[in-house]
Amino acid sequence: MLKLSPSILAADFTRLGESCAAVLDAGADMLHVDVMDGAFVPNISLGVPVLAALSARLPAFYDVHLMIRRPLEYIKPFCGAGASLLTFHLEAESPVEQTIRAIRDAGCRAGLSIKPATPPEAVFPYLDALDLVLVMSVEPGFGGQKFMPAAAGKIAAIRAEAERRGLSPDIEVDGGINPETAPLCVRAGANVLVAGSAVFRAPSPADAIAALRRACGA
């Protein structure tokens, strides 16, 4: 089943709770929370206090994407703040297997993300332990970038390997998702789409979400 996870990076931060609630009411399945530390990626976004405040007032599935250098050090704080799923980068400095275990021990689902330059085969050793694989279709760090078509091939490779092993993790794609690019990803095997500007900054988030679903035949 197709799931839409709008990125709150594109929300109106002066009305964050109201903006997120409107997107959920419009049909989003979850909220994507981009956490950036200014070191792993060249931008700084938000952290534990914002997630804690938002989750306390707005019940939702919080799809938290850690774009930070040492994710292992922040697992407990983010899970305690309301994260439902924590995704970290394979390219980060924390040991992958240890970080996955720490996420599960903290009571969250575990995801692993790869940047555009990282081959899909890099996630294969960890597939059995993951709930989700996130394929970045832009360079992480800033919203509003153009979709990189090579992401579709990476999604297809990961989905094929998962099916070969009898696994069915969610495969998420993030970056430049709109009604033109979303079907490419879904046909390749993605079932979770992160769309920030296309949803939060649309005149009607409900129409934008409906258009994405319609484009993907969902």
Choosing from 29, 34, 105, 207, the catalytic residue is 34
What is the residue type of 82?
G
Q: What pLDDT was estimated at residue 144?
A: 63
pLDDT (mean) for 87-103: 98
CATH assignment of the domain containing 87: 3.20.20.70
Q: What pLDDT was estimated at residue 140?
A: 82
Q: What pLDDT was estimated at residue 143?
A: 61
Render pLDDT for 65-84 as a digit per residue (tens, 0 to 9): 999 999 999 999 999 999 99
In the three-class reduction of DSSP (H, G, I as helix; E, B as strand; rest coil), residue 118 is classed as coil
Choosing from 12, 25, 174, 207, the catalytic residue is 174
Phi and psi of 195, rounded to 5°?
-130, 120
Render pLDDT for 34-64 as a digit per residue (tens, 0 to 9): 999 999 998 899 999 999 999 999 999 999 9
Render pLDDT for 115-127 as a digit per residue (tens, 0 to 9): 999 999 999 999 9
Respond yes or no: is residue 63 known to be catalytic: no
What is the overall mean pLDDT for the chain? 95
Are 54 and 30 spatial neighbours (Cβ–Cβ below 8 Å)? no
Respond yes or no: is residue 128 known to be catalytic: no
Q: What pTM does this model have?
A: 0.95
Render pLDDT for 134-153 as a digit per residue (tens, 0 to 9): 999 998 876 667 899 999 99
Q: Which domain holds residue 104?
A: 3-215
Are 140 and 115 spatial neighbours (Cβ–Cβ below 8 Å)? yes
What token pair was written down for 26?
């419009």
**Beta-carbon neighbour count of residue 25 at 10 Å?**
10
Domain count across the chain: 1
